Amino acid sequence: MWVTEALHLAVTSLLLLFIQPIIGITSFTSAVIGFANPIIFLMIGGFIIAEAIRRSGLAARLTYNMLNRFGTTPDRAIFVVVWSTGLLSAFIENVVAYAMLLPIIKEIIPLMGVHDPEKGESNFAKSMALGGSYGSLAGGFGTEIGTAPNLMAAAYTHLPFVNWMIFGFPLAFILMTIIWKWLGFVYKSEIKGVVGGIETIAAKKASLGPMSRNEKLTIVILLFTIGLWVTTGQTGLDSFSVALIGAVLIFAFRVIDWKEAQEGVDWGLIIFFGGALSLGAALLNSGAAAWLISLIVGFLGPHASTLLIMIVLMIIAVTITQVMSNIALAAILVPIAVTLAAAQHQPIGIYAIPVAIACSLSFMLPMADPTVAMAYGTKYVNIPEIFKAGLPLVIIGIIVTIIVIQTIALPFIS
């Protein structure tokens, strides 16, 4: 049902709750335990902070400042789009990050002299639309709140926030750099730069006026929250509490009110997540995950190396995620990966983390991720063109992830 989306993902998750007691897997009280997982509150806090960033105008100011600083050539514009969405996506949901930047992307393209990009004839427009989408996916690897599959892996591995950042940001920065250069290569721009040059961007920046009170408060609260996330080992706080501290500060300083915050919280995703965690618990507690693992190990052989198993699990994840919600897939594969690691006496995140990352290597098709669907919805790029740009990035993403896991992450994922 998740693959076909016969019902909304959240509705299918609600079905999971009452089907479990009906068929005798567990009681309803045990089935709904997924909604008590602290990761739910990390999501809520993240959504509220993201809404403050959007409503305050901080996202638009970030983009125009980067354009003003880094230049107005097509190559630099693609760089700004990839890195703007990527950096935002490290701390807010990638769909929210891309949604905030897409109107700005649509404004930059005509500034470059591109007319009627909806006809799908502009390589620059293709690179910009895909750059924002792909950048948000890659940037999300930086932290455990950057993507929904990351959150799923964090829920099972209980990694400290800073531990994920130690290997997550190198991975994100490498992939964002590759995406920037690849899109400029595969869709070589047909235009030279902003009409009017840096003066046009300076005028756009000036039109925003001085930073508002809400923008200043938002950036201070965001930096304070990030500081708390990075120092959880010293303060004794956990990342879930920190997210709520940030959210409460947003309300306390009246950056947004509760009604505005509710518009920015994807309650359907939260319900879906709780149901997905319920399914994960059922897979683990019923022995189903162990049974599935025995099939995989039986197929690979009892002496398969950790690296081979990691590659196989990532290929499975990255293939299925092109046609299935990445968080739905992570809800199934992450508990299996955790079970396998435990059975082999490996670090708990050795398979779960690369699997979660692979679930977000959703570059090839619009149905793979909402941000790719949004890029397709601009009509700047069609499905074969998305596939052409995305397939090599998926392969590169698997290779880079494995290298980063093997060289940087291992000491921090046990």
Q: What is the pLDDT along the chain (414 residues), one digit of tens a residue?
A: 776 668 887 888 899 899 999 999 889 988 887 787 777 887 788 778 878 887 888 877 877 777 777 767 889 889 989 998 999 888 877 777 787 778 778 878 887 888 888 888 899 999 999 999 999 999 999 998 888 899 889 888 888 888 999 999 999 999 999 999 999 999 998 887 766 666 777 777 788 888 999 999 999 998 898 888 878 778 888 878 888 999 999 999 999 999 988 887 778 878 877 887 788 788 778 888 778 777 877 787 767 888 998 998 999 888 888 766 677 788 888 988 988 888 888 888 899 999 999 999 989 888 777 788 888 888 899 989 999 999 999 999 999 999 999 999 888 886
CA atoms 76, 52, 360, 9: torsion sign = negative
Region class of 147: left (phi > 0), else alpha (psi between -120 and 50), else beta? beta
Contact 354, 399 (CB under 8 A): no
How many Cα neighbours within 13 Å face the side chain of 284? 22
Domain ranges of the chain: 9-36+58-211+266-412
> What is the reported pTM?
0.75
What size, in residues, is the chain?
414
